Chains A and B, each alone.
Chain A
Amino acid sequence: MSGAVGLDHYLVLSLIIFTLGMFTVLTRRNAIGILMGVELILNSANINYLAFAYYGGARYDGQIFAIFVIMLAAAEAVIGLAVVLAIYQNFRTIDVGATENLSG
């Protein structure tokens, strides 16, 4: 790891964002908070894609995968938040521990 910014720097940055997102997913009981953690994780994956595309010589493949990830993240956010709103209308809460009608 030399002084200039290299591939390792981006990988470590992506790793830190991933761990923060994972911590968010694990500790939140608010469903919207969990979705925000998922967005952080997806962003860290995208940083990895673009870093490998830039430093690995594959110019467009990594960027196209990043665009697909962004597209799927948008679909996931739309469906996830719609489900959250539907749960809120039925339960008056979005605490993921409180919605346990189906637990045995």
Chain B
Amino acid sequence: MLQSVIFYALAAGTIASAAAVAFSRNIVYSTFALLGAFMGVVGIYILLAADFVAMVQLLVYVGGILVLTIFAVMLTQGIGDVTISNRAVGSVPALVTVAIAGAVMLYAIAHTRWHQAALHAAAPTTYGIGNAFLGDYVLPFEVASLVLLAALIGAIVISRHEARE
């Protein structure tokens, strides 16, 4: 019962924030609404007994990606034209496309019998995740570090000012 109340509160907050991201005309408002969406998703993760993933989401999304996005918004917009987050012309075709895609997926959700096992009691997951990362998933784990290194170097190379001789 309590779980239901918490779920609906978190879901309502997340959806409201995501809707603000989608429909706000001001890009700065959208950016700060994104904070609410990410925090709501953190709560959803905790409700799904994924404590480690929730903390990773908090650190990487809220602490990293969101701050980076805010920096980009502030760097690319002058003070005067802060409201120019122009919606594209074709808002109605987008709405139709999204409605069709959503209806198809809703049909699939409603008419599929998903495999469901007995629920585990919520327990700390860091031990198992750590073992899996250094066991079955050690190759993707190492490749991931290469990807992050490449992204780091690539971002520096792309965004720096060209040196003029």
Distance of A24 Cα from B30 Cα, bound (Å): 10
In the bound complex, do residue A79 and residue B151 qualify as a contact, i.e. CB atoms below 8 Å apart? yes
A-B contact pairs, 29 of them (CB 8 A): A3-B4, A5-B3, A15-B106, A17-B37, A19-B101, A19-B102, A20-B18, A21-B18, A26-B90, A26-B97, A27-B90, A32-B76, A33-B30, A37-B22, A43-B41, A46-B41, A51-B48, A54-B48, A56-B115, A59-B128, A63-B53, A64-B129, A66-B50, A67-B129, A77-B65, A78-B68, A82-B154, A82-B158, A85-B75
Decide if B4 touches A5 in the complex (CB within 8 Å).
yes
A102 interfacial contact with B, CB 8 Å: no
Given contacts A59-B120, A60-B129, A77-B65, contact A20 B19 (CB under 8 A): yes
The 10 closest A-B pairs by CB, nearest first: A57-B117, A26-B94, A75-B151, A82-B159, A82-B155, A82-B158, A20-B18, A19-B102, A81-B72, A50-B48
CA distance A83 to B154 in the complex (A): 10
Q: Mark B93-127, 1 if CB is under 8 A from A, else 0.
A: 11101110110011001100011111110000100
Q: Is the CB of A24 within 8 A of B53?
A: no
User: Per DSSP, are chain A's interface residues mostly helix, strand or loop, or mixed?
Assistant: helix
> B100 to chain A: closest CB distance in Å?
10
The CA of A13 and the CA of B90, in the complex, are separated in Å by: 26
A46 contact set on B, CB distance < 8 A: 41, 45, 53, 57
The number of residue pairs between A and B whose CB atoms lie closer than 8 Å in the complex comes to: 225
CA distance A77 to B73 in the complex (A): 13
Chain B residues with CB under 8 Å of A40's CB are: 18, 21-22, 34, 37
Q: Are A28 and B88 in contact (CB under 8 A)?
A: yes
Nearest CB of chain A from residue B106's CB, rounded to whole Å: 6
Contact A79 B158 (CB under 8 A): yes
User: How far, in whole Å, are A40 and B20 apart by their CA atoms in the complex?
Assistant: 12
A26 touches B88 (CB 8 A): yes
- The answer to whether A78 touches B155, judged by C-beta atoms less than 8 angstroms apart, is yes
Main secondary structure of the interface of B (DSSP, over half): helix
> Complex formed: what's the CA distance from A51 to B11 in Å?
14
Interface size class of A (residues with CB under 8 A): 35 or more
Q: Mark B36-57, 1 if CB is under 8 A from A, else 0.
A: 0110010011001110110011
